[in-house]
Amino acid sequence: MNEHAIAKGLEVWILQNLVNLSVLAGILASGLILAQAYYRELENHLSLRVSVELWRLATVVLADALLLVVVLVGYVVLNPDILADVKIAVPFYPLATVLFAAALVLRLFRGGHNPASVNFGRSLKLTLAANALNVLGFTFVAEAASGEYLARHPSPFWTYLKTHLRSNADPAGLDLAQLTFTLCFPALVAVGLWGVWSAVRRMKAPQEGADQ
């Protein structure tokens, strides 16, 4: 095995593990967002006001940090070359990345941190939908029945999922991966531009109020 093959194998191993960890991070982020009542109950055990404020900040920032990691990993693997190398469930993972990105924009720039805000509910629903896509893709495509099992128990269902919905499956998976990239990458860019526009608009609003 030459040096190039070793480097390529290490790259694929790292990327594959990042993808798998991002699936878990997305689930954890949704769990943190859902646990609002739990946070309020724990606040009763904090005696200092500053500790309460730090606790509230930590519960918000941690969920957003996890969402940011999920979106960044999703962006990294959403390109034709990596899709052809790494085992990605298409179109499940890329669609989930777009939904996670939209949820992050709502939370960061559209008031989605406030449980009383309508955008809080929207962002939560987006993360839950994204997690549903990730769980389906991870369970039934990326980690479908093994080749050893299928050799003893042939299954058209599992065989189809492995040969058609994995991004590195040649040829059907590669074709679907390219189609997924063509649709999801522009959508992810559009969500990113929406986030930038929302951030700029939010920064200008206090300045305009101060100038009046």
Picking from 123, 91, 89, the residue whose alpha carbon sits closest to that of residue 106 is: 123
The residues near 209 (Cβ < 8 Å, ≥ 6 apart) are none
Q: What is the average per-residue pLDDT within 65-80? A: 96
End-to-end CA distance of the chain: 69
Reduced to 3 states (helix: H, G, I; strand: E, B; else coil), residue 86 is coil
> 54 or 61: which carries more pLDDT confidence?
61
- Segment 15-39 shows an average pLDDT of 91
% residues pLDDT > 90 (the chain): 71
Higher pLDDT, 47 or 147: 147
Backbone angles phi, psi at 113, to 5 degrees: -80, -25
CA distance 181 to 194: 19
Q: What is the pLDDT of residue 52?
A: 66
Cβ pair 88, 43 in contact under 8 A: no
User: Are 56 and 50 a contacting pair, CB within 8 Å?
Assistant: no
Rounded mean pLDDT, 174-199 = 96
pLDDT at 7: 83
What is the per-residue pLDDT for 50?
56
Q: What is the C-alpha to C-alpha distance for residues 176 and 182, in angstroms, rounded to an integer?
A: 10
**Inter-residue contact 74 to 133 (CB < 8 Å):** no
Query: With contact defined as beta carbons under 8 Å apart, do 93 and 77 qualify?
Result: yes
Using pLDDT thresholds of 50, 70 and 90, give the confidence band for residue 209: very low
pLDDT at residue 60 in the model? 84
How far apart are the C-alpha atoms of 132 and 137, rounded to whole Å?
8
Quick one: tokens of 198? 């929302």
Residues 72 and 101: their CA atoms lie apart, in Å, by 9
Q: Of residues 207 and 125, which shows the higher confidence score? A: 125
CA distances from 178 to 11, 55, 82, 173, 183 (A): 21, 44, 11, 9, 9
Position 132 confidence tier, pLDDT thresholds 50, 70, 90 = very high
pLDDT for position 210: 42
Given a cut of 90, whether residue 101 has pLDDT beyond it is: yes
- Evaluate if residue 207 carries a pLDDT over 60: no
pLDDT of residue 1: 63
If you average pLDDT over residues 68-86, what whole number do you get?
95
What are 169's two structure tokens? 């499956």
Query: Residue 152, SS3?
Result: helix
The pLDDT of residue 167 is above 60: yes
What is the residue type of 85? D
Report residue 206's pLDDT band, with 50, 70 and 90 as the boundaries: low
Q: Where is pLDDT greater, at 156 or 115?
A: 156
Between CA 67 and CA 42 the distance in angstroms is 23
Structure tokens at 51: 């500790």
